[in-house]
Chains A and B, each alone.
Chain A
Amino acid sequence: MCLAIPARIVAIAEDGVTAQIEVEGVRRPVSLALVEGCGIGDYVVVHVGFALSRLDPMEAERTLALFAEAGLTGGAAS
């Protein structure tokens, strides 16, 4: 359900709503009408042409750290 992927904002039009996002050299227009306070360089989660959430880089790091931590406590699977 709800295919959406994180993508970086590379340009925002004068209207403040129409933006270009990029993933690995692929660019496409998205609407920022449903989010607030997003700027160039931010990562947003994009669904059906709309940014729905700004990705929090600190939280992203924290989650990755959780994975690593769980791995340490559990040890490697056979």
Chain B
Amino acid sequence: MKYIDEYRDGALARKLAGAIAAEIQPGRRYNIMEFCGGHTHAIARFGIEDLLPPEVRLIHGPGCPVCVLPVGRIDDAMAIAARPGVILCTYADLMRVPASNRRSLQSAKADGADIRMVYSVEDALTVAAENPAAQVVFFAIGFETTTPPTALALVRAKAEGLANFSVFCNHVLTPSAMEAILAQPQDGPDPVHVDAFVGPAHVSMVIGTRPYETFARDHHRPVVIAGFEPLDVMQAVLMLVRQINDGRHQVENEYSRAVVPEGNRKAQALMEQVLERRDSFEWRGLGALPDSALKIRDSFADFDAERRFEVPARSVPDPKSCECAAILRGQRRPEECKLFGTACTPESPIGSCMVSSEGACAAHWTFGRFRERRRA
């Protein structure tokens, strides 16, 4: 596979591992957060941690849209789906995400709700066109990568007068969540340990490199935007280790083959036309974050499922004993949570980090739990 296999080369990986090891300064720790679930997945799937020196610790961040979607929003989607005549179209990733009372879209489907899995929002438009008597609702989730297709669907629905189509909008913003992680008090008993960020690959194709400048300039954290292939991750680690050693904090772009500084202007313009910032949005594990999500503009209000249908809009607190918030901030490791692997597993997740295979806990459980014995 061109542009994939070259970036998975084991021989180059060993050389890069050597380069990283050679840069490590004795006694120094390098706490690097990969924000994105895509990086978390690559790290786990390719076993990248085995190639890094023990001084480098990778902290798995909250960049998995399925994981951070709060219970209340799933409850809302289920309430919409339960109405007669509604067809709820959703990405398959959401089917098993736990809602209140141990329910999920999957259990709602078993109860008789018409819930259909789609691979693209365009499929949802097709379902709407083919079922004019039904109300077709697209359950939109995702970071900036997944947002432009939703915006485009709204523009098309309006242009084509597809009156039975609407969007339940849950799109969230990456920089806001990175901000929230760093906003924690640094001098408390349990400070956040994030020295640097591996920045998003595909989010950055859309938003470009500039939104990360604030983390370098104001928060003094180096950021390296990196592709999702394993050599990309290792190269980013090498670049971050060098920045930390040099006392630099800059935004660097390792994923220059797909990310340009200004991002995808066409996609940005579409998002701007259709969507605007919410004052506040709740994130599973992180709580309510200001300016962290998007809603549908008034000019597209007719296609906003939140306005078309009454939703309960109830906030459901995260389970008390769950350590997700601390894990997402790098204050705890997954295996340090007492629910990990006991009450909370990928088959019956309790916290956000266990919900999708990209969550910090699920990735550790599914791919990496053999490492615990080595640490012990």
A53-B259, A67-B235 known; A2+B122 contact, CB < 8 A: no
Task: Report whether B4 and A6 are in contact in the complex, using a CB–CB cutoff of 8 Å.
Answer: yes
Number of interface residues of B (CB under 8 A): 60
Give CA–CA (A47, B204) in the complex, Å. Answer: 13
Let me know if B15 and A77 touch, CB within 8 A. Answer: yes
Contact, CB under 8 Å: A59 / B19? no
Within 8 A of B (CB), among A51-78: 52-53, 55-57, 59-60, 62-64, 66-68, 70-78
- With a 10 A CB-CB cut-off, give which of A23, A31, A63, A72 has the most chain B CB atoms: A63
Set of chain B residues within 8 Å of A24, measured between Cβ atoms: 1
Whether B38 contacts A2 by the Cβ 8 Å rule is yes
Let me know if A5 is at the binding interface, CB within 8 A: yes
A34 within 8 A of B: yes
* Cα distance A41–B20 in the bound complex, in angstroms: 36
Q: For B228, what are the chain A residues with a Cβ–Cβ distance below 8 Å?
A: 4
B266 touches A36 (CB 8 A): yes
Which of chain A's residues have a CB closer than 8 A to the CB of B51?
77
Residue B70 at the chain A interface, CB threshold 8 Å: no
Q: Which residues of B contact A73 (CB under 8 A)?
A: 19, 22
Is the CB–CB distance between A55 and B120 below 8 Å? no
**Which residues of A are found within 8 Å of B256, using beta-carbon distances?**
56, 59, 62-63
Q: Does residue B119 face the partner (Cβ distance < 8 Å to A)?
A: yes
Interface residue ranges of A1-42 to B (CB < 8 Å): 1-6, 8, 23-24, 31, 33-36
A-B contact count (CB 8 A): 156
Q: Which bracket fits the contact residues of A?
A: 35 or more
Q: A34-B152, A53-B259 are in contact. Are A47 and B146 (CB under 8 A)?
A: yes
A1-B206 contact, Cβ under 8 Å, with A52-B148, A71-B19: no
Give which listed residue, B37, B231, B267, contacts A52 with CB less than 8 A. Answer: B267
If over half of B's interface residues share one DSSP class (helix, strand or loop), that class is named, otherwise mixed; here it is helix
Pair B15/A52 contact, Cβ less than 8 Å: no
Cβ of B255: which chain A residues have Cβ within 8 Å of it? Answer: 63
Q: How far is the CA of A37 from the CA of B183 in the complex (A)?
A: 41
B266 touches A68 (CB 8 A): no
Query: Out of B2, B12, B15, which one reaches A43, CB within 8 Å?
Result: B2
Q: Which B residues contact A (CB, under 8 angstroms)?
A: 1-4, 6-7, 12, 14-23, 36-38, 51, 63-65, 91, 119-123, 142-143, 145-146, 148-149, 152, 200-203, 205-206, 227-228, 231-232, 235, 238, 254-259, 264, 266-267, 270, 358
Between A and B, 22 residue pairs with Cβ closer than 8 Å are A1-B38, A1-B65, A2-B200, A4-B202, A4-B205, A4-B228, A8-B2, A33-B152, A34-B148, A34-B266, A48-B91, A48-B121, A52-B205, A56-B257, A63-B235, A66-B235, A66-B254, A67-B16, A70-B19, A71-B19, A72-B15, A74-B15
Known: A3-B38, A68-B12, A70-B16; 12 extra A-B contacts, CB below 8 A, are A1-B142, A1-B143, A2-B142, A5-B1, A5-B4, A6-B4, A50-B120, A52-B202, A53-B264, A55-B257, A60-B257, A63-B257
